[in-house]
Amino acid sequence: MKSKIVLLQGGISNERDVSLETSNAVKQALISLGKTVQTVDPKDFYWNHNINYSLMLKTILESKCDKVFNGLHGGDGEGGTIQKFLELFNIDFTGSNSFGSFISMNKKISKLLAQNMQINVPKFIPFYENGSIIIEKILKKFCLPFVVKPNSSGSSVGVTVVENQDQLPKAINDAFEHDNEILIEQYIEGREITVAMLGNKPLPVVEIKPKNGWYDYLHKYTKGETVYEVPANLSKKESNKVIKYAIKIYNEFQCRDYARIDFRYDGKEFYFLEVNTLPGMTTLSLVPMAAKVIGINFNDLIHRIVERDWD
């Protein structure tokens, strides 16, 4: 049993608040499991527009911890940067390695890889901040509604479902506030489906049903705004198909410990959207919700992730 854990929390991404919620829940679970917990916030090492990783790693090494629990979301904490530093210092940490984290965070790369695996993805076009964006060409290529999103961001931050062409300029500007590369993506009418992985095993499929509109930041983190159906009301054939896709993506992307793979389902085909390598661990989060259905409570879930005990 690991006895001392450094819990990475907060950070500087636009998902800081969600990370703090996740980390608070994880901390309480770790303490209940008899662990000694030391929290480390990358924001405390942020000076002159950069994180001083050398100082942060020095703090982690001096803690003499057995493992780092990565409770960060988005940015360097989920995109592979912090993972790479931890790997360089041979520090054991929860979640996917730097390679899996990087390709999963990059929506363009992950969609291209999924296409190569013969898995459907929504039609999309990437744009760079300093490049030329001709709105008329976008409107010719995509039927309304369509989605504008940052290429590397989570929690639906900076995402707009464009239903009227007058919304497009603002949607583009909003997305570029969070990344220098954005995607214009086909909106798939249908159902929001997600599959969480724990170790190398899938958890029950979840269907996400926002009470109004789509599954944006408000619906993700406001209690009562979304209904979750676990397991999802799918036929055995449909469930097996989306689980097969999730396992294939999880393995090909070299994910580790746990992750969540999101899809849209139009009633005929499942369309891969993205992989979350550090999905939320809040009271409204989907991984704990799916785990609970098969008898894994929150403390047990955290224990399994820390110890890599999947049985």
Q: What is the pLDDT of residue 134?
A: 76
Q: What is the pLDDT of residue 303?
A: 96
Q: What is the pLDDT of residue 219?
A: 44
Lowest model confidence (mean pLDDT) among 57-66, 108-117, 179-188: 179-188
pLDDT in tens, 206-217: 999 877 655 555
The separation between CA 140 and the C-alpha centre of its own chain, rounded to angstroms, equals: 31
pLDDT band at 235 (very low <50, low <70, confident <90, very high): very high
Residues 6+ apart with CB under 8 A from 25: 281, 282, 283, 298
Mean pLDDT value across the chain: 91
Quick one: 24 exposed, middle or buried, by C-beta within 10 A (0-12, 13-18, 19+)?
middle
Mean pLDDT of 194-213: 89
Domain spanning 4-94: CATH 1.20.120.1200: no
Q: What is the pLDDT of residue 218?
A: 53
Which residues are marked as active site?
A: 15, 155, 221, 260, 262, 274, 276, 280
Residue 35 has pLDDT above 70, yes or no: yes
pTM, 2 dp: 0.91
Q: What is the pLDDT of residue 1?
A: 54
Structurally, at CATH architecture level, domain 124-186 sits in 2-Layer Sandwich (3.30)
Could you tell me what percent of the chain has a pLDDT over 70? 94
Number of H helices, E strands in the chain: 12, 15
Q: What is the pLDDT of residue 32?
A: 96
Q: What is the pLDDT of residue 131?
A: 67
Residues 6+ apart with CB under 8 A from 266: 188, 189, 190, 191
Structurally, at CATH architecture level, domain 103-120+189-307 sits in 2-Layer Sandwich (3.30)
Residue 275 has pLDDT above 60, yes or no: yes
What are the extents of the domains in the chain?
4-94, 103-120+189-307, 124-186
Residue 90 has pLDDT above 70, yes or no: yes
Residue 223 has pLDDT above 70, yes or no: no
Q: 24 with 285: CB under 8 angstroms?
A: no
Lowest model confidence (mean pLDDT) among 25-39, 162-176, 290-304: 162-176
Mean pLDDT of 242-262: 97
Please report, for residues 1, 57, 123, 167, the alpha-carbon distance to residue 259 in angstroms, rounded to integers and kept in the order given: 23, 25, 24, 33
Lowest model confidence (mean pLDDT) among 61-70, 141-150, 213-222, 226-235: 213-222
pLDDT in tens, 130-172: 767 778 888 888 989 999 999 987 656 788 999 888 889 899 9
Q: What is the pLDDT of residue 200?
A: 87
